[in-house]
Amino acid sequence: MISKLPLIGRKHRSRNTPETDAAVDEASAQRSSVSLTWRRFKRHKLALVSLWIVIGVYLIAIFADLIAPRPAGDYNADYPLLPPQSMTLTDPGDGRGFGLYVHGYTQEIDEVSWNRYYTEDPDELHRIEFFVNSGHDYEFLGLFTTDRKLFAPADPDAPFFLMGSDSNGRDIFSRVIYGTQVSMSIGLIGVVLSLVIGIALGAAAGFFRGVVDTVIQRITELFMSIPSIPLWMALAAAIPREWGPLTIYFAITVLLSLIGWTSLAREVRGRVLTLRSEDYVVAARLDGASRVRVIRRHILPGLTSHIIASVTLAVPAMILAETSLSFLGLGLQPPVVSWGVLLQEAQNIRSVITAPWLLIVPSTAVVIATLALNFLGDGLRDAADPYGGATR
Amino acid sequence: MIQYTLRRLGWSLLTIWLISIVCFFIIQAPPGDFVSVLMAQAEEDGRRLSAAQIEVLRERYALDQPWYAQYWAWMSGIITQGDFGYSFRWNRPATEVIMEYLPFTLLLAGGSMFLTWIIAFAIGIYTAVKRYSIGDYFFTFLGFIGLSVPNFVLALVFMYIAFAHFGMTVGGLFSPEYVEADWSVARVMDLLQNLAIPALIIATAGTAGLIRITRANLSDELVQPYVVAARARGQKENVLLMRYPVRAAMNPFISTIGYAIPSVISGEVIVSSVLSLPTTGPVLLGALRNQDMYLAGSFLLILGVLTVVGTVISDLILAWADPRVRRQHSGAAQ
């Protein structure tokens, strides 16, 4: 028996006086389980904040075209490895008015090392405008074509690299925004796939027990006992390179979920084992309900909150796996942009030393997303599990 | 206990067999068979393999026969002669390459397992005893950070700090003056020093989960009547803590150790590749990139077998420590 712990939330319970507790109990008797779970979840402040962060990250992924100032593959060969730029609120006094500006640069190239040295040019100011026509057309959510960007320099050729540029002069900020689409969706799709496998096998093992359970348990253990990264590496290396980016994307997703379903299956099995001996399930069975009906109608609904929690915890693991694989060059390949692909640029210590932002910016995105998802999953698990003593 | 041990060993043999099949299919996955790859490689180097050589190789790996015969040829070579096949990139038997790199992998994996336990155990007890204190939040948060930051990013950050602030180049397991030196106490100390940081980096990923489990179980034990009784008898808090609840909370801790091993091995592969340590990680990565499949498959097989062995050992320790486990597995419980 492995019990879960509430990370933070439970402390607040002590604030209730006995009277309010009694009132709460009476009220909660009439509430649905969803609203009860939600109430427990809200006590977990960190998880609540994380929920908003996760929503925000997915919104960024959905509106990437609008938010990113430049297209993912767009490069400006004049500005390779430009350090992150800062915006200033100022009025240049030439009639353009008060607003956000970035500086232009003068650059020198070291004849020996071919390193570029950028110096800010105090006289050259480029105005940043909101909802500006950028000249780069895109389909807004597949509805209509536009070239408006949330914010971009008024002059399309001006250097605008909020978080620096890579060795080809591409904007890291825009690329990280676009990377959100691939990295976050691969986690989500991968988890849905492993959910299907995990629920099917876990529910079957927990419900039928006996030989079915033993066989499924052994298969689960087999997958858990192989170190996942080497196995992923080996399977990913077997993907033919001549496949298109989209096919590789799906192949990687399938690989991640083929190995990632085990913990879900174990969780589901444990819950089903407890649920199947509940009175209402026994009653349904004695009533002559078919096995499929008992599983679908009586057991799966009782699992929902646990499944949601486990799924939330599985997403960050998938994101990390994709990032690691792509970083090693075995996962997604350019021109696909994911956080892991972006981190390929920070492959060796030399490039990290010359351009630390190549490492810092994409990995910050990874850490924010995975940390928020982990906290969210943790909060959901506590909320789904009021007594903290679920079986595995 | 004997019955449980035998059953557990039987299952692990089955698992190892299944792993070997998975590895074999990975070896088979790239297009073209091993000998044709070898011939292409030889031609690139301006050599030619003689027809007789090719024939011997085809015979050895049963390449003209169906897959199960090829599998058998590979497996029987491993079991009877310890022959894992041939690495065409290294132009050496895969066994030699593996034996050269495996010891450091074991050392590193063992070291980070050890660190994971120590850290998780200490922090787990601390956070359970001081629940909801600042320290509890701090360590729990730290654990989550460790869980959320990719290992390779930590490795790169570490290299960056070491270089930018201390002027050290990191990589390798020995300082320059010891690389070629004979084994001595000083060299061993140097090795341990260089191992500490990679081991710590790998350990970050696994500790969060173990901390949570220790904390949860110990929290459950701390409110048990026997703890109150012991306290009422006037037993000192520290003695009491270690004597009863910690011991009771140890069992789930031991049982998860088995599953921490795969994560440590996974972390080792990535961290070593970034830090270019002379362990299996970079070699496996190189083998996969170059489709040097016998070497890659063999590494995978060995890592898998090691994990299974580790898991079995931890299960046996658990069964020895907790009679309920022995009974549960034989179906007597429930």
Q: Is A374 on the interface with B (CB under 8 A)?
A: yes
Q: What is the pLDDT of residue B33?
A: 67
Q: Work out the mean pLDDT of chain B and round it to a whole number.
A: 79
Whole-number Å distance between alpha carbons of B98 and B115: 25
Counting residues of chain B whose pLDDT is more than 90, the rounded percentage is: 0
Lowest model confidence (mean pLDDT) among A170-179, A281-290, B46-55, B136-145? B46-55
| CA A324 – CA A366 distance, rounded (Å) | 11
Spatial contact of A310 and A392, defined as CB atoms under 8 Å apart: no
The confidence score (pLDDT) of residue A55 equals 93
Whether A360 contacts A45, CB under 8 Å: no
HEC sequence for A14-31: HHCCHHHHHHHHHHHCCC
In this complex, is the C-beta atom of B282 within 8 Å of any C-beta atom belonging to chain A?
no
Are residues A375 and B285, on separate chains, in Cβ contact within 8 Å? no
Q: What is the pLDDT of residue A349?
A: 77
Q: Which of B156, B270, B299 sits opposite A359 (nearest CB)?
A: B156
Tens of pLDDT, residues B175-189 = 766 666 677 777 777
Contacts of residue A346 in chain B, CB cutoff 8 Å? 156
> Is pLDDT larger for residue B88 or for residue B284?
B284
Mutate to test the interface with A, among B136, B137, B156, B222 (most CBs of A within 10 A): B156
Q: Is B253 a domain residue?
A: yes
- Would the pLDDT of A390 be above 50? no
Q: Where are the beta strands (DSSP E) in chain B?
A: 86-87, 92-93
- Rounded to the nearest 10 degrees, the angle between the axes of helix A262-275 and helix A172-208 is 40
**In terms of CA atoms, which chain A residue is nearest residue B258?**
A225
The answer to whether residue B184 is domain-embedded is yes
CA distance A313 to A198: 14
Average pLDDT over residues A245-263: 82
| φ, ψ of residue A238 in degrees (nearest 5) | -80, -10
H or E element in which residue B252 lies: helix B245-275
| B192 HSE (CA, 13 A, CB side) | 8
What residue of A is the nearest CA neighbor of B253?
A2
pLDDT above 60 (res B334) = no
Average pLDDT over residues B278-291: 83
% residues pLDDT > 70 (chain A) = 89
- Count other Cβ atoms within 10 Å, centred on residue A141: 10
- B26 in contact with chain A, both atoms CB, cutoff 8 A: yes
Q: Please state the rounded mean pLDDT for residues A110-134.
A: 78
Nearest to A230 among B261, B269, B311 (CB): B269
Question: Which residues of chain B have a CB within 8 Å of the CB of A2?
Answer: 213, 216-217, 252, 256
B18 with A316: Cβ contact below 8 A: no
Res. A1: pLDDT tops 50: no
- Specify the long-range contacts of residues B274-277, CB closer than 8 Å, at least 24 apart: B274/B152, B274/B155, B274/B156, B274/B159, B275/B155, B275/B159, B275/B170, B275/B171, B275/B198, B276/B171, B276/B172, B277/B104, B277/B108, B277/B171, B277/B172, B277/B173, B277/B198
For residue A369, what pLDDT is reported? 92
Q: Which is nearest to A381 in space by CA: A310, A318, A317, A281? A: A310
A184-243 tens-digit pLDDT: 888 888 888 888 888 888 878 877 777 888 888 878 877 877 777 888 888 887 777 778
Q: What residues contact B256, with CB distance under 8 A and at least 6 apart?
A: A2, B209, B210, B213
Averaged pLDDT, A253-264: 82
Q: Is residue B173 part of a domain?
A: yes
Residue B321 confidence (pLDDT) above 90: no
Whether the CB of A189 is below 8 Å from some CB of chain B: the reply is: no
Q: Do A328 and B169 touch (CB under 8 A)?
A: no
Q: Long-range CB contacts (< 8 A, 24+ apart) of A101-107?
A: A101/A125, A101/A126, A101/A127, A101/A128, A102/A126, A102/A128, A102/A153, A102/A158, A102/A159, A102/A160, A104/A158, A104/A159, A105/A79, A105/A159
- Residues A60-109 pLDDT 10s: 988 888 888 888 778 877 888 778 887 877 777 777 777 778 777 877 87
The DSSP code for B77 is I
Which of B24, B123, B153 would best serve as a mutation to test chain A binding (most A beta carbons within 10 A)? B153
Residue A142: which of A59, A73, A68, A65 has the closest Cα? A65
Q: Per the domain annotation, does B52 fall within a domain?
A: no
Confidence of residue A12 (pLDDT cuts 50, 70, 90): very low
Q: How confident is the model at residue B152 (pLDDT cuts 50, 70, 90)?
A: confident
Q: How many domains does chain B have?
A: 1
Burial track A341-355 (b if 16+ CB lie within 10 A, e otherwise): bbbbbbbebebbeeb
Residue B293 lies in a domain: no
For residue B267, the domain's CATH number is: 1.10.3720
Provide the pLDDT for residue A5: 43
The whole-number average pLDDT for the span B226-248 is 82
Which of the 8 DSSP states describes residue A171?
B
CB atoms near residue A81 (< 10 Å) = 20
* Pairwise CA distance, residues A259 & A227, whole Å: 10
Contacts of B11 (CB under 8 A, 6+ apart): A218, A221
Question: Would you say residue B157 has pLDDT above 70?
Answer: yes
Residue with tokens 């192989």: A226
Reading phi first (left if > 0) and then psi (alpha if -120 to 50, else beta), residue B331 is in left
Given a cut of 80, whether residue A21 has pLDDT beyond it is no
Closest residue on chain B to A377 (Cα): B144
Mean pLDDT of all residues belonging to chain A: 78
Whether B333 is in a domain gets the answer no
Q: Tally A–B CB contacts below 8 A.
A: 154
The confidence band for A16, taking pLDDT boundaries of 50, 70 and 90, is very low
The confidence score (pLDDT) of residue A295 equals 77
Q: What is the pTM for the complete model shown? A: 0.80
**Residue B16 corresponds to which tokens in the numbers above?**
């190892």
Position B242 scores a pLDDT of 79
For B95-124, how does the pLDDT look when each residue is reduced to its tens digit (9 = 90+)? 888 888 888 888 888 888 888 888 888 888
Alpha-carbon distances, residue A258 vs A26, A330, B201, B288 (angstroms): 46, 17, 27, 20
For residue A291, is pLDDT > 90? no
CB contact B110 to A (< 8 Å): no
* CA closest to A347 among chain B residues: B274
Higher pLDDT, B16 or A270: B16
User: Which residues in B lie closer than 8 A to residue A224 (C-beta atoms)?
Assistant: 259, 262
The ipTM of this complex is 0.78
Closest Cα partner for A254 from A177, A325, A327, A334? A325
**Cα nearest neighbour of B145 on chain A:** A371
Task: Return the pLDDT at A53.
Answer: 93
pLDDT confidence of residue B265: 83
pLDDT value for A57? 92
pLDDT value of residue A8: 43
- Local structure of residue A158 (DSSP, 8 states): S
The angle subtended at Cα A152 by Cα A147 and Cα A156, nearest 5°, is 75
Residue B333 has pLDDT above 60, yes or no: no
Q: Which residues of A touch B311 (CB under 8 A)?
A: 225
What percent of chain B stands above pLDDT 70?
87
Q: Domains (ranges, CATH) in chain A?
A: 50-60+175-384 (1.10.3720.10), 86-160 (no CATH)
Most confident of A52-61, A319-328, B67-76: A52-61
Q: Chain B partners of A367 at a C-beta cutoff of 8 Å?
A: 145, 148-149, 153
With CB atoms and an 8 Å threshold, state whether B149 touches A329: no
Q: Which of A11-25, A105-119, A144-158 has the lowest mean pLDDT?
A: A11-25
pLDDT tens across A138-158, in order? 887 777 887 777 877 777 777
| Closest to A343 (Cα-Cα) out of A371, A319, A324, A330 | A324
Is residue B76 situated within a structural domain?
Answer: no
Q: Is the pLDDT of residue B126 over 80?
A: yes
Range of the domain at B263: 102-280
Chain A contact for B3 (CB, 8 A cutoff): no
Between positions 327 and 346 of A, the ones with CB within 8 A of B are: 327-330, 343, 346
Q: Are B35 and B63 in contact (CB under 8 A)?
A: yes
Residue B250 inside a domain? The answer is: yes
